[in-house]
């Protein structure tokens, strides 16, 4: 690890001021940043630790029936507070117990590893991120926030302070299905599916994939095919065939392009079927 300076932020404004100095990265749980620094893939001159800023912690319902998650909420915090099966299925398979105790939501989203699971979950649940800088605060939907591998729409002087979503559609059901690599546990393909039906027709569909392309993405062609369909196994199978439409599928030593693309379809079908309780 290259040498670096370390300072602990006493407040959010203190952390924002430190960012203005340049060559400075925010650190919280460190579960993604520290491994990168050990591999010398990242070598910030200064780390500003926001891990004790209580204003960034907490998971709270919002007035409209949605949910607000502070950037410093850990994976373990979410598991302890959620009753959403899709969140439990997704987060309980992230990393291991130690990673889940330290890794934060804000860290995972702003790090934007193309194979990390939380971005897909966030996309399927229609989360937005709230970014704070000395210029003020802005809210950005996750759909469009992930710009490339390890790149998001966050500006150099901004800190992600929380994630927010509105209420889920009535009767929404979800599932997270993951094909994990046996060595790293990372998703070769990970799919988050949220579906709601009314009078025998699908009225709401969100299908988000990770591990497949440069970024986690919503498979909008799958969603469009599901909407208005009868949600039968045949309809789900036909919709799932669009899982990688418009995507450049990754190929690497763990899964070549053809295999990964085919598994994206298979796991999309499984996630939707599991969401529908089948």
Partner 1 sequence: MDLVRYVAVDDVGNKINPMIVDGQLHGGIAQGVGQALWEGAVYSDEGQLLTGSMLDYALPKASFFPNFELDETVTPSPVNPLGVKGVGEAGAIASTAAVANAVVDALSGHGIRHLDMPYNAQKVWSAIQSAKGGQA
Nearest to 106, CA basis, from 209, 194, 33: 33
In terms of phi and psi (left: phi > 0; alpha: psi -120 to 50; beta: otherwise), the region of 22 is: left
Can you tell me the distance from the alpha carbon of 73 to that of 103, in angstroms, rounded to the nearest whole number?
Answer: 8
Of 25 and 93, CB closest to partner 1 = 93
Among 136, 182, 200, 277, binds partner 1 (CB under 8 A): 182
Of 4 and 259, CB closest to partner 1 = 259
Can you tell me the distance from the alpha carbon of 209 to that of 267, in angstroms, rounded to the nearest whole number?
Answer: 9
Among 41, 63, 183, 199, binds partner 1 (CB under 8 A): 183
184 binds partner 1 (CB under 8 A): yes
For 2, other C-beta atoms within 10 Å of its C-beta total 10
The sign of the CA dihedral 181, 184, 188, 191 is: positive
Q: How many residues bind partner 1 (CB under 8 A)?
A: 13
Asked if residue 113 lies in contact with residue 133, where contact means CB atoms within 8 angstroms, the answer is no
Dihedral of the alpha carbons of 269, 274, 277, 278, in degrees to the nearest 10: 50
Of 182 and 200, CB closest to partner 1 = 182
- For the bound state, the minimum distance from the C-beta of residue 39 to partner 1, rounded and expressed in Å, comes to 9
In total, the chain counts a number of residues equal to 278
- For the bound state, the minimum distance from the C-beta of residue 183 to partner 1, rounded and expressed in Å, comes to 4
- For the bound state, the minimum distance from the C-beta of residue 184 to partner 1, rounded and expressed in Å, comes to 4
Within residues 236-275, the interface with partner 1 by CB under 8 A covers 253-256, 258-259, 262
- For the bound state, the minimum distance from the C-beta of residue 226 to partner 1, rounded and expressed in Å, comes to 26
Of 138 and 254, CB closest to partner 1 = 254
Say which DSSP state 104 is in: B
E strand map for 3-124: 5-8, 24-27, 46-49, 59-61, 67-70
Of 40 and 200, CB closest to partner 1 = 40
- For the bound state, the minimum distance from the C-beta of residue 180 to partner 1, rounded and expressed in Å, comes to 11
Among 93, 181, 224, 237, binds partner 1 (CB under 8 A): 181
Which residues of this protein are in contact with partner 1, per CB under 8 A?
Answer: 179, 181-184, 186, 253-256, 258-259, 262
């Amino acid at each position: 690890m290259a040498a670096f300076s370390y300072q602990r932020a006493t407040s959010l404004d203190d952390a924002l001021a430190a960012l203005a100095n340049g060559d400075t990265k925010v650190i919280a749980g460190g579960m993604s940043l520290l491994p990168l620094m050990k591999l010398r893939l990242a070598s910030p001159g200064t780390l500003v630790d926001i891990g004790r800023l209580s204003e960034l912690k907490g998971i709270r319902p919002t007035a409209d029936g949605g949910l607000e998650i502070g950037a410093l909420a850990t994976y373990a915090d979410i598991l302890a507070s959620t009753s959403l099966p899709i969140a439990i299925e997704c987060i309980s398979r992230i990393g291991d117990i130690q990673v889940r105790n330290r890794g934060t939501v804000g860290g995972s989203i702003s790090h934007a590893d193309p194979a990390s699971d939380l971005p897909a979950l966030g996309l399927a649940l229609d989360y937005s991120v709230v970014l704070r800088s000395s210029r003020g605060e802005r809210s950005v939907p996750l759909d469009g926030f992930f710009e490339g591998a390890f790149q998001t729409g966050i500006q150099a002087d901004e800190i992600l302070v929380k994630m927010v979503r509105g209420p889920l559609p009535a009767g929404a059901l979800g599932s997270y299905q993951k094909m994990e690599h046996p060595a790293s546990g990372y998703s070769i393909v990970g799919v988050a599916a949220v579906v709601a039906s009314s009078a025998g027709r699908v009225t709401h569909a969100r299908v988000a994939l990770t591990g497949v392309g440069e970024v986690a993405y919503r498979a909008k062609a799958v969603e469009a095919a599901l909407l208005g369909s009868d949600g039968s196994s045949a309809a789900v199978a036909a919709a799932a065939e669009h899982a990688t439409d418009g995507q450049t599928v990754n190929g690497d030593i763990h899964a070549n392009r053809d295999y990964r693309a085919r598994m994206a379809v298979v796991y999309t079908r499984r996630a939707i079927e599991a969401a529908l309780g089948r």
